[in-house]
């Protein structure tokens, strides 16, 4: 795509089925990438610091409170690389790797939403778990898992064994961030939190109160580290949003996960899928 050209809206075949590029009527150069009817990424080509989806803003809030300066980051799940673009824009000099399994999707994003302007950002086509396993020990400040096949998180990215690999590549004060979607009794989110607590001593959970109470299906953000997390600051920032979010600390999460077993490789577990009405799907 030449400089000055805009993406072309429409439907495009990808490995997962179909991706649709949609214009945002409210922002001149805002775009949504839908995959199989589920919104996966929002991109503002004029302003990579604009995070439109609420859960993405929560992820950005955590990133903003990490140590100052450039970050070494690993992203598992790419789509439009929204958070990676944000990190590149807000933390110049950062070195980032994005693992995305869907090669046609990567090609679509490269064509319509160029990545070359974001220095230090590399996208690798391949399995994120395998990619993480290939990285050296103690090499990164941040690992982000925001990976979905349609609306489902791959179970292979939710186990204790995978979380141990995350801890291996993180620095001692590094942070692990996970976007998880759930509803109802939040059974999957509780087990995922219990899983991460097996490996990391410090956790927090950010989410809209209605989702946390099981009133609706939605996204939650889990953060974990071997070092204390900025709970007080994130509690204040989250509560002051136009759509307020709640921040649960390690002690609250111990109660939240009580009676829920960690997920291990080979477990037979049902990953939650949003009701059709959530995204207007049939």
- CATH number of the domain bearing residue 244: 3.40.50.150
- Neighbour tally for 186: CB within 10 Å: 23
Does some domain include residue 230? yes
Listed in order, strand segments (DSSP E) in 50-161 are 72-76, 95-100, 121-125, 140-145
Does 6 reside within a domain?
Answer: no
Cβ 195 vs Cβ 178: under 8 Å: no
Whether 87 contacts 63, CB under 8 Å: yes
pLDDT at site 82: 98
> Which of 167, 155, 227, 234 is closest to 191 using CA atoms?
155
Question: How far apart, in Å, are the Cα atoms of 277 and each of 30, 187, 248, 273?
Answer: 24, 20, 28, 11
249 falls within a domain: yes
* CA–CA distance, 234 with 206 (Å, rounded to integer): 9
| Tens digits of pLDDT across the chain (282 residues) | 544 466 889 999 999 899 999 999 999 899 999 998 889 999 999 999 999 999 999 999 999 999 999 999 999 998 899 999 999 999 999 999 999 999 999 999 999 999 999 999 999 999 999 999 999 999 999 999 999 876 789 999 999 999 999 999 999 999 999 999 999 999 999 999 999 999 999 999 999 999 999 889 999 999 999 999 999 999 999 999 988 999 999 999 999 999 999 999 999 998 888 876 555 443
Number of Cα atoms under 13 Å in the Cβ half of residue 75: 28
**pTM for this predicted structure:** 0.94
Residue 33 lies in a domain: no
pLDDT at 5: 61
**DSSP-derived secondary structure letter, 149:** B
Report yes or no: 23 and 30 within 8 Å, Cβ to Cβ: yes
Residue 280 in any domain: the answer is: no
The Cα 123–Cα 110 span in angstroms is: 10
- Assess if residue 140 is contained within a domain: yes
If one counts the domains in the chain, the total is: 1
CA 162 – CA 156 distance, rounded (Å): 7
Check residue 282 and give its pLDDT.
Answer: 35
CA distances from 197 to 87, 222, 254 (A): 26, 11, 9
Q: What's the distance, Cα to Cα, between the start and end of the chain in Å?
A: 34
With respect to residue 53, please indicate whether it lies within any of the assigned structural domains. yes
Nearest to 59, CA basis, from 234, 236, 240, 193: 234
Domain holding 66, by residue range, is: 47-266
Contact 27, 135 (CB under 8 A): no
> Per the domain annotation, does 76 fall within a domain?
yes
Rounded CA Rg of the chain: 18
């Amino acid at each position: 795509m030449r400089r000055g050209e805009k993406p072309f809206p429409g439907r495009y075949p990808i490995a997962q089925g179909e991706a649709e590029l949609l214009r945002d009527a409210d922002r001149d150069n805002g775009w949504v990438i839908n995959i199989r009817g589920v919104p996966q990424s929002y991109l503002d080509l004029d302003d990579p610091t604009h995070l439109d989806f609420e859960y993405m803003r929560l992820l950005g809030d955590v990133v903003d409170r990490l140590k100052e300066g450039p970050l070494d980051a690993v992203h598992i799940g790419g789509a439009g690389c929204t958070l990676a673009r944000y990190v590149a824009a807000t933390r110049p000099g950062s070195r980032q790797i994005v693992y995305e399994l869907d090669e046609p999707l990567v090609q679509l994003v490269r064509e319509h939403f160029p990545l070359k302007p974001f220095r230090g950002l590399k996208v690798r086509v391949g399995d994120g778990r395998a990619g993480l396993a290939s990285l050296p020990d103690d090499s990164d400040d941040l690992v982000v898992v925001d990976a979905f096949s349609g609306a489902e998180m791959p179970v292979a990215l939710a186990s204790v064994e995978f979380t141990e690999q995350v801890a291996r590549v993180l620095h001692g004060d590094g942070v692990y961030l996970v976007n998880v979607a759930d509803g109802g009794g939040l059974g999957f989110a509780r087990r995922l939190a219990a899983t991460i607590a097996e490996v990391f001593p410090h956790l927090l959970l950010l989410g809209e109160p209605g989702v946390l109470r099981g009133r609706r299906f939605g996204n939650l953000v889990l953060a974990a580290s071997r070092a204390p997390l900025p709970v007080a600051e994130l509690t204040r920032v989250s509560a002051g949003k136009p759509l307020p979010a709640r921040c649960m600390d390690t002690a609250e999460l111990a109660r939240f996960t009580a009676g829920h077993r960690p997920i291990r490789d080979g477990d037979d577990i049902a990953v939650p899928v949003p009701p059709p009405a959530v995204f207007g799907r049939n």
